[in-house]
Chain A
Amino acid sequence: MNLHTVALALIVAALLVAGCDKKGSVSFPDTPPDKVVMTFFGLLAEGGKLTNKEALTMISERNGSISPDNFRRWTENYSKDTKIEITKTTLPASPDDHGDWIARVEMQVKTPSIFGGEYATTSAMHLILDEKLKQWKIDFLAETLEEDSYRTLPAEARAQP
């Protein structure tokens, strides 16, 4: 086998691998995931049944659905004074093991405190691509977030001086 043949074989193999990559066949929706998250919490902050129902339609049903009743009671006391700032948005380069395209939106959340001022928390939210609807859908129940490792952390915690 001469060098020519080897090079040709490598080129063909590279083309085949590129052809197998699903990314080429997926186009992400026009509305980016961070915009979806902001809209979602905007609806929750607004309050009311209809807005809550609309927010529910933004949630992915890939890993199970939530009844409207439950969703409403889980979210209706979300404070309208909470401020959200998106700190990072990561679009997927490839699908996960289940073939889902998952974007990650990280945000900083500021909420009024009874001790005065505001306190900040961070939140990471996954969004699953709904290829049929061409929309990013929110993984509200955090089924795709890996958190099982938390369970093995030390049972005892104390404040550092």
Chain B
Amino acid sequence: MRNLSSQRYLNVFVALAVSALFSNAPAANAKKTELTQFDKRDWHVTSQQDSDAPLRDYAILYDAGGVDGALGVIGIPSMRTYRHIKCGVDLHNFPFSGSNAGNNNGTPDGKYLYVSDKGADTIVEVNLQTGWAERIFALPKPFGVHHSAALAPNGKYLFATGELTGKMLKLRLKDGATTVLDIPPAPSAPDYPDTSKDGRYVFAGNYYHSAVMVFSQDPFKLIKEIPVGKNPHGTNVSPDGRLVAVCDKLSATLSIIDIDKLKVHKVIPVGAGPLHNQIDTLGKYDYISCFVSDSTSKVDLTRMQLVDEFPVHYRVGHNSIAPDNAYYVSQNKFSTGLFTPTGIVFAVNFELQDIDETSATYGKTVKIIPVDGEPHEGRQIFASYIQRWNTGKGEELFSKGYELGDVKVSFAEGHGTGLHERPQLEPTHVTDSSRGWVPRDDGKPGITKEGDVHVVRIKAFSYGYVPRFVHVPKGAKVRIILTNIDKAAGLTKNPDVTMGLAVYGYYGPRTMLIGVRGMSAVGEFVADKAGEYEFYCQHFCGPLHLEMRGTLFVDPPGQMASLAVGDYDDVSKQETILVEQERKWIVGTNKLMNKLNEGKEPTI
């Protein structure tokens, strides 16, 4: 009896001690909002707060918003959407200006990001400090950009992939001068690129070749193809510059390339449908988005093996990682059953996952939000990089520059040092065209003429189009009727897969058809610029979404359009995308093409 009583006292003591310990824990770990002199000016900040959702976000996630043509700006960890920055038609991928040191987020200087617009075939320079699009690089035509993810180490050159024509490009950011390389043999689709940290190489997957291409940065030329798994996609260099991690989309593996030896060092099984990598800043872990297995796979790059897997909701595409490695954002393509409908463009979602191994919620989803458009690349930056322009000193900060840690940031070069000298481009998305939906058309695929209109009936399915090669004469009035004929969409059996059809470049703003199930999408426009223009599915539809492509040939009189025959100089002016006063901010790179001759470029 006595023994039992002693045991009870002991139990009570232990329980009290444990509860005291844990009752103190939240207070000890709570994050306090730090007030600065600037906060005191803000009417809504009245006192310090203990909160896990502070008013100030410590990081900012930028996402290339895909089909809505805008960059999303989202706070981390609150996941609040701050704004959208209009840029163009179909945004895919960007690096921050600065240098390529570090992981996928690079080492930003807080000035710009350069986002590729696959629909308009441009790269748009966005000023992070003003939050406006400031310059448009109209890429040499034909090109068909997909990704522009890679900066040279000195931040002066950008490498982009011409997925739709089988080309690669090196662009001088100062003036838009370009060197363009053809990547044979066709079909060739240079995909997601990254650069080595020492300035030696550019790596880019090529899904048609099931290989990673290796280019030298200076002189810019193809030096090798390294066979990897089937249809490689995300291709990322580790922060220590030792290896390249390649997502083998159809092989469910991650190929690790040794940069010194330029050959595959190890192949790691990671889960079905790996699409993109996010390596942490230490180069220890690689987080891989697996589309088919609905998961984030975590690979230990030291042990070279899969060490963890977190579920996501659902069908992840791109991903991003916080600059302090504490959070990971799974950028999911489908939100089946998750949110309230708000319009024709369905909400995809961002899912914030805690990847801090010391955290109580490690591996868990801590927040999930619907987002606009169909975002592709996401990259994060410390919020402290964006200056506080609400202090009345914005003009001064632009003209005199500012300190960013040890770095002095200056806007002395470029468009002008005054805030009032900087443009705000808001490109118009839709021009001289119409889009709509009609009851599901049952016409046979092909081209018919109805009066003076060329009616192009295209059937879309997982993963292709019939017909794939469409010829219309220059000047033709064109009506495209797109019908999604999938029964249960492809490999992933999602009942709600939407197909798309966007013709890149000049016709990008005129098409962007959305092929929902049960209805047919109809687009009308005048084919007034000759040339060979790839069309592609702009709505993520499954693992082979990127491979879903076709070609629109607008044939000039008496000739066949090709990559050599077309009104490419005309369409490079992007004249229909901008109004007159905005045109001076277009850098027309066609005139400068290949001015940078191989071997005669400034050393990087």
Contact = CB atoms under 8 A, between A and B. Distances in A.
Contact of B341 (A64, A68, A77, A159): A68
B518 A121 contact: no
Given A114-B524, A121-B441, A123-B440, A73 B341 contact: yes
Interface stretch (B118-126, B358-366, B381-389, B462-470): B462-470
A78 B519 contact: yes
A73 B344 contact: yes
With most chain B CB atoms within 10 A of its CB, the pick from A67, A69, A84, A140 is A69
A138 to B, nearest CB: 9
B90 to A, nearest CB: 19
B12 interface: no
A122 B443 contact: yes
Nearest to B522: A111
Interface string A32-63: 00000000010000000000000000000000
A77 B437 contact: yes
Contacts of B419: none
B346 to A, nearest CB: 5
Given A77-B344, A154-B467, A159-B471, A147 B438 contact: no
A124 B520 CA distance: 12
Nearest to A139: B518
A147 B442 CA distance: 9
Nearest to B464: A151
Interface in A59-104: 64, 66-70, 72-79, 82, 84
B474 to A, nearest CB: 11
B11 interface: no
Nearest to A84: B439
Given A150-B466, A159-B473, A77 B436 contact: yes
Interface stretch (B94-102, B259-267, B320-328, B477-485): B477-485
A141 B484 CA distance: 9
Given A115-B524, A157-B447, A157-B467, A123 B340 contact: no
B438 A66 contact: no
A153 B469 CA distance: 12
Q: Which of B341, B344, B443, B476 has the most chain A CB atoms closer than 10 A to its own CB?
A: B341
A6 interface: no
Nearest to A147: B485
A82 B520 CA distance: 13
A77 B343 CA distance: 9
Nearest to A107: B439
A108 B394 CA distance: 61
Nearest to B461: A151
B419 to A, nearest CB: 40
B15 interface: no
Contacts of A106: 442
A62 B438 CA distance: 24
A74 B519 CA distance: 7
B449 interface: yes
Most buried by B among A75, A78, A107, A141: A141
A69 B467 contact: no
B524 to A, nearest CB: 5
Interface stretch (B78-86, B108-116, B310-318, B452-460): B452-460
Contact of B468 (A84, A114, A120, A155): A155
A160 B447 contact: yes
Interface string A135-157: 00000111101011011011111
A147 B459 contact: yes
B286 to A, nearest CB: 34
B517 interface: yes
A160 B476 CA distance: 12
Contacts of A158: 447, 470-472
Contact of A125 (B440, B447, B450): B440
A78 B346 contact: no
Interface residues of B, number: 58
B87 interface: no
Nearest to A37: B439
B516 A73 contact: yes
Nearest to B472: A159
A68 B339 CA distance: 11
B496 interface: yes
B187 interface: no
A113 interface: yes
A53 B495 CA distance: 19
Contact of B488 (A64, A76, A150, A159): A64
A121 B341 contact: no
B595 interface: no
A64 to B, nearest CB: 5
A115 B467 contact: no
Given A64-B495, A115-B453, A122 B445 contact: no
Q: Considering residues A66, A147, A154, which has the most beta carbons from chain B within 10 angstroms of its beta carbon?
A: A147
B442 A122 contact: yes
Nearest to B486: A141
B439 A125 contact: yes
Given A64-B488, A121-B441, A150-B485, A156 B469 contact: yes
Contacts of A107: 439
A159 B481 contact: no
B171 to A, nearest CB: 33
B591 interface: no
A63 B471 CA distance: 37
B437 A78 contact: yes
B337 interface: yes
B466 A75 contact: no
A77 B438 CA distance: 9
A28 to B, nearest CB: 23
Contacts of B448: 160
Interface in B316-372: 336-337, 339-341, 343-346
B416 interface: no
Contacts of B464: 151
B433 A114 contact: yes
Interface of A: 41, 64, 66-70, 72-79, 82, 84, 106-107, 109, 111, 113-115, 119-125, 140-143, 145, 147-148, 150-151, 153-160
9 contacts: A70-B496, A79-B437, A114-B433, A123-B442, A141-B487, A150-B485, A151-B461, A151-B464, A157-B446
Given A151-B466, A155-B467, 18 more contacts: A67-B337, A73-B343, A74-B437, A75-B518, A79-B438, A82-B438, A114-B524, A115-B452, A115-B453, A120-B450, A121-B439, A143-B487, A147-B485, A153-B444, A158-B472, A159-B447, A160-B447, A160-B449
Interface of B: 336-337, 339-341, 343-346, 433-434, 436-450, 452-456, 459, 461, 464, 466-473, 476-477, 479, 481, 485, 487-488, 495-496, 516-520, 522, 524
Closest 8 CB pairs of A and B: A158-B471, A157-B467, A74-B516, A69-B341, A155-B468, A156-B469, A123-B439, A124-B442
